[in-house]
Amino acid sequence: MQYRVAGSNGFGQGYPVRENAFVFSERLKTLASKTVWDLRHCAIGDEEASEVTKALLASTCVAERLSLSTNNIGLTGAQQFAKVLSLVDTITVINFNQNNIGDDGAYALAEVIPRAPALRMLYLAQNGIGDAGALHLIEAMCDSECKVVELDLSYNPLSDIGVQSILAVISGSERWKSKRLRLNGIQLQDGVRAALQQMSCYDPPPPAPTSWKASSQVLS
């Protein structure tokens, strides 16, 4: 098995390198003393996710912010990371944007986030999560034990009916008054979008840059 790993710390974006499974595992060990784990664009699938979760469960691990965006993590990987979140008391932010965990992966995370001791922010944009998976996550965040305060479900295939169900749960929950929800990039009827925008937890997208110069500043 070959892994594509890139970046000055062995991970993330940067110069491309080809690593075999053993070297990938050894490099993960070097992250144990780091609080930020940048694992974006590393071609991590479910098999590779197993190596990452083993490293996170090491007694020396002090990871606080974990970025796994733009990989190929599916259901099995999501289940493995869900287990980690229930056991590791240092992880406050996890970014799963642009993977493929789907509804079942969302279920796995939803089952554990009320028991995640440190997790505050969960990013799941563009993951093939439908109405059922999204609703399960929203309901999990109503749990009195859940410490997550920010959830990103942008660019997932949610329907108007699904978003209406989400809004119904949120409107009936005192817990959601202190939380933030992102649902950018989802095609909704005007009435549903208006109702969403009126929710106190709604986190609107940033304004579009008005010039090339402004765009450059955003990207920097």
pLDDT digits (tens, 9 = 90+) for 153-212: 999 999 999 999 999 999 999 999 999 999 999 999 999 999 999 998 988 877 655 543
106 in any annotated domain: yes
Show the domain range for 144: 32-219
In the three-class reduction of DSSP (H, G, I as helix; E, B as strand; rest coil), residue 101 is classed as coil
Angle at 77 between CA 145 and CA 68, to 5 degrees: 80
2 in any annotated domain: no
27 in any annotated domain: no
Q: State the virtual CA torsion across 99, 66, 116, 110 in degrees, nearest 10.
A: -10
**Structure confidence at residue 183 (pLDDT):** 95
Q: Please give the tally of structural domains in the chain.
A: 1
pLDDT-derived band at 17, boundaries 50, 70, 90: very low
193 in any annotated domain: yes
| pTM for this model (two decimals) | 0.85
12 in any annotated domain: no
Q: Give yes or no for residue 220 having a pLDDT over 80.
A: no
21 in any annotated domain: no
181 bridge partner residues: 151, 202
Two tokens, residue 204: 């609107």
Please give the Cα distance from 75 to 99 (Å, whole number). 10
Contact predicate 158/189, CB 8 Å: no
DSSP 60-83: T----EEE--SS---HHHHHHHHH
pLDDT single digits (tens) 117-147: 999 999 999 999 999 999 999 999 999 999 9
Please give the Cα distance from 218 to 73 (Å, whole number). 28
42 in any annotated domain: yes
Crossing angle for the helix pair 46-56 and 75-87, to the nearest 10 degrees: 10
Helices (H), 88-189: 102-112, 131-140, 160-171
Distances (CA, A) of 184 to 4, 35, 95, 203, 209: 30, 29, 16, 9, 16
CATH number of the domain where residue 69 is located: 3.80.10.10
25 in any annotated domain: no
